[in-house]
Homo-oligomer: A and B are copies of this chain.
Amino acid sequence: MRYFLHLAYDGTQYHGWQIQPRALTVQQELDRCLSQVLRQPVYSLGSGRTDSGVHASHQVAHFDADVPEGLDLPTLLYRLNRALPRDIRAQVLHPVPDKAHARFDATARTYEYHVRLTPDPFAPNFSLYLDRAPDVAAMNEAAAMLLGTHDFTSFSKVKGSEKHYLCTCYEAGWHEVPGGLVFRIRANRFVRGMVRLIVGTLLTVGRGKLSPQEFGEIFRSLNRVHASGAALANGLFLCRVEYPAELLQNVALPTGLPYFSRV
């Protein structure tokens, strides 16, 4: 039987989502704990990779397993959370059709980047602190250019192995929240490093070092050398992965996590 697992993690201590040799990753910890609790080898597949240090308030992975008769899913979820490290929390577990795929069936992903403008002792790993407020209007004028279907080569990492750089961006903008700002971007897909490069370059606009027009020129140049440096990973959260309704029938999605519900 195939299952979807909805989970959240503090990515501070992990080398990202994806299993890799000689580095602790979220997927590795998840597979280890799923295998332990289900007493069979379990291999999960995520909706997408998150980079080293990036967090998720909503990530989705699928896996195939034989859940023993008499073990109900709430109990399995409880045992999984007992086994998992505290910085990875399983939220919701439900069966899906055999061909459902956490990556290929995802219709949209949303990321948030959190900026604090008040000195904040509580969120050093979950936000970027700026001691001067950036120009939100200018940043949003620039961010609006991202909407629609565009080639995002200018905001991609060199090492990306994507076949193409076309992404359809449904939402992109900065929102004022108590004590800070949140940038939210929703798109059908993201190429490697895209959100942090966009945020880094928008913050350059926010400091007045780049005009919204110049941001547009960089975006349209399709040349990755012009973007500003990537914003630090610690402010970035994958915060929603969307699927067709038929895969999530009767499933109450997790709500109420901080770093997700603020905007």
Contact = CB atoms under 8 A, between A and B. Distances in A.
A255 interface: yes
A122 B118 contact: no
Contact of A89 (B9, B117, B119): B119
A195 B254 CA distance: 30
A177 B124 CA distance: 23
Contacts of A81: 119
B121 A255 contact: no
Contacts of A89: 119-121
Interface in A1-35: 8-10
A255 B176 CA distance: 13
Contacts of A131: 78
B258 A123 contact: yes
Contact of A261 (B88, B179, B256): B179
How many of these chains are in the complex? 2
Interface residues of A, number: 34
A180 interface: yes
A90 interface: yes
A87 B78 CA distance: 32
A197 to B, nearest CB: 24
Given A131-B78, A179-B261, A87 B254 contact: no
B179 A122 contact: no
Given A122-B257, A179-B255, 4 more contacts: A8-B121, A86-B121, A118-B257, A180-B256
Contact of A118 (B86, B179, B255): B255
A254 B118 contact: yes
Contacts of A179: 255-258, 261
B121 A87 contact: yes
Contacts of A244: none
Instruction: Give the 4 A-B residue pairs with the shortest CB-CB distance, closest first.
Output: A179-B256, A178-B256, A89-B119, A10-B121
A94 to B, nearest CB: 16
Nearest to A56: B121
A40 to B, nearest CB: 24
Contact of A90 (B10, B57, B119): B119
